Every structure is written in structure tokens, then in C-alpha cells.
Amino acid sequence: MPLSSSLICCPSETRLHRICASISTGQTVLTTTELSSVLTLLTENDVNHLIIDQSAGTSEKEIAAAHDLRSRLITFLKKHDLKTQVWELVSVDEARPAVEVTAFDRYVAYERLEDLVSAYLARMAESVNVPPSMTTEAIEIPPDSSRLTPVSDAEMDVFDGNVPLVETRSPQFRKMLTDLEIAGGHDVAILLIGETGSGKTHLSRMVHARSPRSDQPFLHVACGALPRDLIEGELFGHAKGAFTSAHADKEGKFLAARRGTILLDEIDVLGPDQQVKLLRVIETGEFEPVGSNRTHVSEARLIFASNLDLEPLVEQGKFRPDLYYRLNMMKFEIPPLRKRKMDIIPLSRLFIQKFRSKHGIPVSKIDDAVLDALLGYPWPGNVRELEHVMQRAVIYCRDGVLKPEHLPPHLLNGQVGPTNDPSIRLGTTKPAADENSLGQQVAVSEKEIIEQTLYKNNYSRTNTAKELGISRVTLYNKMKKYEILKSSQSNN
């Protein structure tokens, strides 16, 4: 039986992410934080269940907007003869009398919202037709004064053998994973672009593990960690006497991998000569070890990765166009964790499961304040940073309850660590008192836009000015005004 589609309207973005994190990934769920968008989404999509969270609205304006939506929604459903079931979430005190007067299918009293919505959608997914006895039922969740969210082993157990699977609630990331799985089933070179810690190595291992080459070696070569004059020897090997310390023949990665997979990480650091030889390997598999005239043929599958978009490097003459276009046909961009917030809580639970087993520390519950802190942090180090944070939290947990004091101080204080994305401001994320004026906020936004565009174009002022629609002189003056010149020069 097909799964039902649902629409959730929740004015709190943080709570909306927590709701999404509790929902099974197999369900089709639309979300919005704007009441005004509900009717539009109902018109454009086939929605069987509508859940509106009215519990957060306490001001007169919010209450008035809720009443207006309720009236318009009733009229809309009748006019279009829609069978959409509407579930309105209200506070515990309001629930009982509301059941008697509502024109909607149900009102709900709740404490743990995400648990309730998850249970409801799971039940609805089993049957499109809801039993008549449920049409006016008010479901009450027992009060929980500590407001703790339980950690479910089944919910977090997404491992399959030695290779962790990738689970996401982000439509953008899910689409990318589907396309990657299709490409992974064919013998083609793959390019992964993503920030540090976003999961490039993990996805490469997953592609290898699910390919016919899974019984062959998987070799990870960190090009950025190797001196440029030694990269060729590492990849292609070398003959005895090729250089002073070459006392014997050495087999390179392209031969050592046999018919397995090679991940070449940080390929943006490769020089022009190395790029030419790499392109030849991609096209024909052929190469010669350093100091040798003997041609070998590599049978390994190649996966490339980079923290930077390669297109600006091509424009600057630092990356060969022919190699770029060869790799760009199978390019996959991994979204940073801050752009898929709905994955933060499920990943956190997964890491809790992992580290409580590894360190033998019982953790049964997570304080809601911990979840709010995790959702409010931009995660410049992405999934890797989240994993380390959760390991620290588990280690310091002593009473079975994960609390805010178990998190790193910088996370609780809104301090953002170093990142290669200038759109994330270093230091505190909370504006100082003198930053609240409109002029200050506009200046901050303009500076961030310029920094982000410079980064996107690999600090090319010509391309940045063109993208922003301003002259190079104007860009230079603004960079000087916001003291961006020094950082730009250091990156050139």
C-alpha cells in the first residue's frame, strides 16, 4: 500500500527540524514555517494529512492568524472537496474543549511533539482510511517534567556489516545519494565536492563496498598531505635508481589497488604535469613509473574528491580544462550539514549509539536543550565535527542523561570555529549591542556576501565583481572598507 503524503506547518524552525528527525525516512513529508503557505502547498500537492502546530502562538497577532487560517482552511477544503485530514496541535489546557468545537479531524494535547507526530504518521502510513473511532479523539501524552527525549536503539541502528549506510531526511542529499548509487554501479570515474568533514571518504567507501570490486583493495591517497615532488612516485611508483633514495623498485597505488578502488583526495593540489598524467590514466589506464620506460595499465576504479569547486581553478589556469570536463560529467556536490539540519538529530543519536557501546557508558535520554544547541550551531566541521562533539558528550555523561553541560563550551556560547567558508563568521554568532542598528546589519550582510562570492570564485576579483554585478573598482573599495583585502591576498 502506498505511503500517505503529509504536510507539517510549524512556526518554530528548530521544532520543525526535531519533528522531521523523528519521522521515518520512507514517508513523503512537506514542511513549512509559514501559515500563509499552507493553502498554496495544498493546491500544488496531493496532501492526505495536514498537521498544524498552533501551540507556539501566544501573541494576539499569532492567535488571530491561526483563527483566520482555520476559517479559510475549512472553506478551502469544502470548496475543492478535499479529503485531507487536519490535525491541529494545541497546548494541553486547550485540547479538551477544542475537541468539542473543532471542524477538523482531531486536536491533540502533547508534551513531546516529535514523538507524537512520528507515531501518528507511522499509523497513518499503514492505512489511508482512518478508523471512525479516531476522528474526534484527543491523544494525550503523559506530562514529563524533565522534558527528555528517549534514545531508541532501533532508530539509530543503520549499520550494515562493516560499512555504515547513509541515512538522510534531506531531499537534496537523498537525490544526490540516489544518483551516486546509480553512477557507482558503472565503471566510471566519480568526482565528490564537499567541505571538510562532509563525508567524502565515507561515501567513497560506500561506493566501493556496493560495487563488484568490493573484494578488492580500497586505497585512500591524501594528495594534500604529500610533498608535490613525491606525489607521482606515490601514485605511479618508481624504478630503482630513479632518484637518490630509490634503492629498489616501488609499486605505486595504481598497481597496488589491483582491480579495487582508489580515492584521490584534494586533487586540487596537483600540478599541471601530474594532471596530464592523471588524465591519461583515466582515459586509457596507462602510466609509467618514475624513472621507467615500461608502460603499465591500471585496472583500478578512480574516485576524486576536493574541498573546493574546481571551475574557478580552471578559470585561473590552475586546473586543466580537459581534466575538469572529464571529471565534471560525474560530479556530486555534498551539501554541508548546516544546509540539512533535519539530519543533525538522527546523526547525533547514531553517534550516541556508537560511542556508548564503544566506551561502555549508558545513555538513555537526551535533554531537549541539547537538541536545541545542536540545531542552532552551524557545524563548520560538518559530520566529523558532530561525531567528535557527541563522543565528548557521551564520555562526560555520568547519570544516563545527556545534558548541555556535556557539550563543548564554544558550542553552548555560540562560538564558531575555523572554516573555509567565509559566510560563517568566526567567533560569537550573537550580535553585540552596537551591531543591532540597520546600518550595522546591512554592512555585515554585504561583507558576508562579498566574502562568500570571493570564496566561490577562488578569490578572483574579476569573476567576483562580474557575479555581483559591480565594477572591479567598486569591489576593491568595498573589500578595503570591510578589511577583506588581507585575507584575499593571503589566499592568492
pLDDT tens per residue across span 286-304: 999 988 899 999 999 999 9
Helix orientation angle between 461-468 and 438-456, rounded to the nearest 10 degrees: 130
Main-chain dihedrals φ then ψ at residue 61, nearest 5 degrees: -65, -45
pLDDT tens per residue across span 331-368: 999 999 988 888 888 889 889 989 999 999 999 888 88
Is residue 420 scored above 60 in pLDDT? no
The x, y and z cell numbers of residue 382, run together, are: 560538518
Taking alpha carbons only, the member of 331, 185, 178 closest to residue 267 is 331
Predicted local distance difference test score (pLDDT) of residue 165: 61
Main-chain dihedrals φ then ψ at residue 320, nearest 5 degrees: -65, 130
Whether 13 and 90 map to the same domain: the answer is yes
Residue 267: CATH number of its domain? 3.40.50.300
Cα 405 from Cα 369, distance rounded (Å): 10
The answer to the question of residue 339 being in a domain is no
Q: Tell me the pLDDT band of 92, cut-offs 50, 70 and 90.
A: very low
Is residue 156 scored above 90 in pLDDT? no
The answer to the question of residue 166 being in a domain is no
The answer to the question of residue 119 being in a domain is yes
Whether 141 and 14 map to the same domain: the answer is yes
Whether 308 and 357 map to the same domain: the answer is no
Q: How far is CA 431 from CA 15, 373, 410, 416, 422, in A?
A: 23, 17, 16, 13, 17
Q: Tell me the pLDDT band of 7, cut-offs 50, 70 and 90.
A: confident
DSSP 126-164: H-SSPPGGGTTPPB-PPP-TT-EEEPPHHHH--EETTEE
Q: Tell me the pLDDT band of 194, cut-offs 50, 70 and 90.
A: very high
The answer to the question of residue 160 being in a domain is no
Among 76-90, 137-151, 154-168, 282-296, which stretch is predicted with the lowest mean pLDDT? 137-151
Is residue 108 scored above 60 in pLDDT? no
The answer to the question of residue 426 being in a domain is no
pLDDT tens per residue across span 311-323: 999 999 999 999 9
Main-chain dihedrals φ then ψ at residue 402, nearest 5 degrees: -80, 120
Predicted local distance difference test score (pLDDT) of residue 379: 92
The answer to the question of residue 150 being in a domain is no
The answer to the question of residue 64 being in a domain is yes
Whether residue 107 contacts residue 138, with contact meaning beta carbons closer than 8 Å, is answered with yes
Whether 109 and 180 map to the same domain: the answer is no
Predicted local distance difference test score (pLDDT) of residue 35: 74
What mean pLDDT comes out for the span 471-490?
A: 74
Domain encompassing residue 367: 346-416
Predicted local distance difference test score (pLDDT) of residue 490: 52
pLDDT tens per residue across span 269-278: 999 999 999 9
Whether 189 and 303 map to the same domain: the answer is yes
Detail the DSSP E strand segments found in 25-140: 28-32, 49-53, 85-90, 106-109
The residue with cell 550595522 is 440
| Residue of 159 and 199 predicted with greater confidence | 199
> Which residues fall within 8 angstroms of residue 286, CB to CB, at 6 or more apart?
280, 295, 296, 297, 298
Q: Tell me the pLDDT band of 417, cut-offs 50, 70 and 90.
A: low
Whether 222 and 259 map to the same domain: the answer is yes
Residue 140: CATH number of its domain? 3.40.50.2300
Whether 368 and 269 map to the same domain: the answer is no
The x, y and z cell numbers of residue 271, run together, are: 600540478
Q: How many domains does the chain have?
A: 4
Predicted local distance difference test score (pLDDT) of residue 277: 93
Residue 350: CATH number of its domain? 1.10.8.60
Taking alpha carbons only, the member of 220, 219, 222, 253 closest to residue 235 is 253
Is residue 486 scored above 60 in pLDDT? no
Predicted local distance difference test score (pLDDT) of residue 118: 58
For the chain, what is the mean pLDDT? 76
Among 14-23, 28-37, 290-299, 399-408, which stretch is predicted with the lowest mean pLDDT? 14-23
Taking alpha carbons only, the member of 114, 122, 108, 110 closest to residue 150 is 114
Whether 387 and 440 map to the same domain: the answer is no
Do the strands 190-193 and 85-90 form a parallel or antiparallel pair, or are they unpaired?
A: unpaired
pLDDT tens per residue across span 362-407: 998 888 888 888 988 999 999 999 999 999 999 999 899 999 999 9
Residue 436: CATH number of its domain? 1.10.10
432: exposed, middle or buried (C-beta count within 10 Å: 0-12, 13-18, 19+)? exposed
Whether 323 and 376 map to the same domain: the answer is no
Cα 403 from Cα 386, distance rounded (Å): 16
Whether 26 and 83 map to the same domain: the answer is yes
What mean pLDDT comes out for the span 180-201?
A: 93
pLDDT tens per residue across span 432-456: 344 445 555 555 567 778 877 887 7
Predicted local distance difference test score (pLDDT) of residue 140: 30
Q: Does residue 383 sit in helix, strand or coil?
A: helix
Taking alpha carbons only, the member of 456, 438, 451 closest to residue 478 is 451
Whether 446 and 404 map to the same domain: the answer is no
Among 54-58, 100-104, 156-160, which stretch is predicted with the lowest mean pLDDT? 156-160
Whether 141 and 237 map to the same domain: the answer is no
The answer to the question of residue 443 being in a domain is yes
Predicted local distance difference test score (pLDDT) of residue 161: 36
**pTM of the entire structure?**
0.64
Q: How far is CA 133 from CA 4, 130, 140, 450, in A?
A: 20, 8, 16, 58
